[in-house]
Chain A
Amino acid sequence: MAKKVAFLQGNEAGAQGALYAGCKFFAGYPITPSTEVAEVMSAELPKVGGKFIQMEDEIGAMAAVIGGSLAGSKSLTATSGPGLSLKQELIGYACIAEAPVVIFNVMRGGPSTGMPTGPSQSDVMSAKWGTHGDHPAICLVPASVQEIFEETVRAFNLAEKYRTPVMIMPDEIVAHMRERIVFPEPGELEVINRTAPSVPADQYKPYDTKFGDVPPLAAFGSGYRFHVTGLNKAEDGFPTTKAALVQAEEERQVRKVDANIDDIVTFEEYMLDDAEVAIVAFGSTSRSARYAVNEARKAGIKAGLFRIRTFWPFPDKQIKALASKVKAIITPEMNLGMCTIEVRRCAEGKAPVHGIFRVDGEPINPGQILDKIKEVK
Chain B
Amino acid sequence: MAFDYEKYIRPGKLPHIWCPGCGHGIIMKGLIRAIDSLGLEKNNTAIVSGIGCASRLPGYLDFCTLHTAHGRAAAFATGVKMAKPEMNVIVVGGDGDGTAIGGNHFIHACRRNIDMTYIIMNNNIYGMTGGQFSPCTPTGAKASTTPYGNPDPAFDVAKLAIGAGATFVARGTAYHATQIDKLIAEAVQHKGFSVVEILDDCPTTYGRRNKFKSVIEMMNRLKDIAVPVKAAEKMTPEQLQGKILTGVLYKEEKPEYTTEYAKVIERAKGGK
Do any CB atoms of chain A lie under 8 A from CB atoms of chain B in the complex? yes
Dominant SS at the B interface?
helix
| Contact residues in B for A61 (Cβ distance below 8 Å) | 75
B68 in contact with A47 (CB, 8 Å): no
| Contact residues in A for B79 (Cβ distance below 8 Å) | 25, 27, 53, 63-71, 75
Q: In chain A, what residue has the closest Cβ to B64?
A: A220
Interface stretch (choices B20-28, B80-88, B229-237)? B80-88
| Contact residues in A for B265 (Cβ distance below 8 Å) | 46, 49, 51
Q: Is B58 an interface residue (CB 8 A)?
A: yes
Band of interface residues on A: 35 or more
Dominant SS at the A interface?
mixed
- Assess A220 versus B84: contact at CB under 8 Å? Given A57-B104, A225-B64: yes
Chain B proximity of A49: nearest CB distance (Å): 6
Q: How many residues of B contact A (CB 8 A)?
A: 40
- Assess A56 versus B82: contact at CB under 8 Å? Given A225-B64, A239-B59: no
| CB < 8 Å neighbour of B105 from A51, A56, A71, A221 | A56
User: How many residue pairs between the two chains, A and B, have CB atoms under 8 Å in the bound complex?
Assistant: 144
Q: In chain A, what residue has the closest Cβ to B257?
A: A53
B83 in contact with A73 (CB, 8 Å): yes
Q: Is A55 an interface residue (CB 8 A)?
A: yes
Which of A46, A55, A59, A64 has the most C-beta atoms of chain B within 10 angstroms of its own C-beta? A64
| Contact residues in A for B87 (Cβ distance below 8 Å) | 71, 220-221
Q: Which B69-99 residues sit within 8 Å CB-CB of chain A?
A: 69, 72, 75-84, 86-87
Interface stretch (choices A136-144, A228-236, A252-260)? A228-236
CA distance A172 to B107 in the complex (A): 33
Identify 25 residue pairs between A and B in the complex whose beta-carbon atoms are under 8 Å apart, listed by A's number.
Answer: A47-B269, A51-B83, A53-B82, A59-B75, A63-B68, A64-B78, A67-B78, A67-B81, A71-B79, A71-B84, A71-B87, A75-B83, A220-B87, A221-B46, A225-B63, A225-B65, A227-B58, A227-B65, A227-B66, A228-B66, A228-B67, A230-B51, A230-B69, A238-B59, A239-B59
Question: Contact residues of A with B, CB < 8 Å?
Answer: 24-25, 27, 43, 46-47, 49, 51, 53, 55-57, 59-61, 63-73, 75, 89-90, 93, 201, 219-231, 238-239
Question: Contact residues of B with A, CB < 8 Å?
Answer: 10, 42-44, 46, 48, 51, 58-59, 62-69, 72, 75-84, 86-87, 104-105, 107-108, 261, 264-265, 267-269
Excluding A46-B265, A49-B269, A225-B63, 10 further A-B contacts by CB distance (< 8 Å) are A25-B83, A53-B82, A64-B82, A67-B48, A67-B81, A67-B82, A71-B80, A71-B83, A71-B84, A220-B64
